[in-house]
Structure 1
């Protein structure tokens, strides 16, 4: 039994691809998957910045606009409760949304800088370790803020209508936060190995 030679296999593959061997899809550097994701992050960052800016203007306007005889319905699914819209309630609601989107805006800002280094083909930079730790910290603050805000709304503003988040609702966000911090340590180790190799050379 004769096995086909590697050269003949290469020629067959070359014929199948039109005479040119196509390289595998790059993950780092210009024209790679990282550069495409960087473009997507840029678009998402601009959109999120616009949303955050509009919410911030709305929060400022909430200080001055009249809200007499206005009601708001707080609901969780089918049930709901109508209650008068007070200025503290309006400021709290709009401020919480502004802080929520602002937190994710800061996360996207850090991710854009990280993917910029991936596009340049130089991911293991000390700055990326700091950026990943900041992303993990912001994600933890946003998660804790949402958990406390929903508990406050359920306990004070709409008791019996909305249910506060339980500990089980925090499992997925906490897992994501831990993954980010683990990635930060991976990048820190990569930066250390790169620095040692540069010193060796």
Structure 2
């Protein structure tokens, strides 16, 4: 029987991932509030007044704030979800046992999340161009992020490697 050692680097990365999750949540809430205030100010003729505050929004169309809110709605949940899954994987690595059966599906879920965020980004760009007036003649450009799609493929491959590693490990435990 082997003795598992704690992986201090993985524990540190898990803690770092937790900090990133909280920073993403806080930044997302702040960005949402600022964009919402900007949108209200833009819809109100360029001025947003509330008790104790005034916001001036000049030269920015409501469409820009809608585009910002839509982008935030697409990216923030995806980033937080991927970070949570990575943290769970890191916790198994920190415990000294990364080839547990749960990590294969976690990598698959990360790949699916990244793919879904990319598809949602495409749909958001199409909808923004069709429904929202950005105040310019140029539409929002639809671009394909090859790095994101390469990451999706790589994560699906790594998920299979983890599944096979877990299976072989379980078979090894069964042999005497």
Task: Give the TM-score normalised by structure 1.
Answer: 0.65
Q: Secondary structure at the match of 1:117?
A: helix
Residues of 1 paired with 2:113 and 2:22: CA distance? 19
Deviation (angstroms), 1:70: 3.5
Matches within 5 A, 1:124-139: 124-139=99-114
Residues of 2 paired with 1:65 and 1:151: CA distance? 24
Is 1:32 paired with 2:40? no
Is 1:46 paired with 2:22? yes
* 1:13-42 superposed Cα distances (whole Å, 9 cap, x missing partner): xxxxxxxxxxxxxxx943533222222212
What is the RMSD of the two structures over their aligned residues, measured on CA atoms? 3.0
Q: Which residue of 1 aligns with 2:159?
A: 184
Matches within 5 A, 1:59-138: 65=40, 67-70=43-46, 84-85=61-62, 90=65, 93-138=68-113
Specify which structure has the bigger relative contact order, considering alpha-carbon pairs within 8 angstroms and separated by 6 or more residues.
Answer: 2
Q: 1:95 to 1:164 in 2, by over 3 A?
A: closer
1:132–1:183: 8 Å Cα contact kept in structure 2?
yes
Query: What are the ranges of 5 or more consecutive residues in structure 1 without an aligned counterpart?
Result: 1-27, 72-81
Give the one of 108, 128, 142 matched to 1:165. Answer: 142
Q: Which residue of 1 aligns with 2:51?
A: none
Return the index of the structure with the highest Cα Rg. Answer: 1
Q: Which residue of 1 aligns with 2:173?
A: 198
2:107–2:156: 8 Å Cα contact kept in structure 1?
yes
Q: Secondary structure at the match of 2:99?
A: coil
* 1:135-182 superposed Cα distances (whole Å, 9 cap, x missing partner): 11110011112233234434553464245224xx33211101101111
1:154–1:161: 8 Å Cα contact kept in structure 2?
no
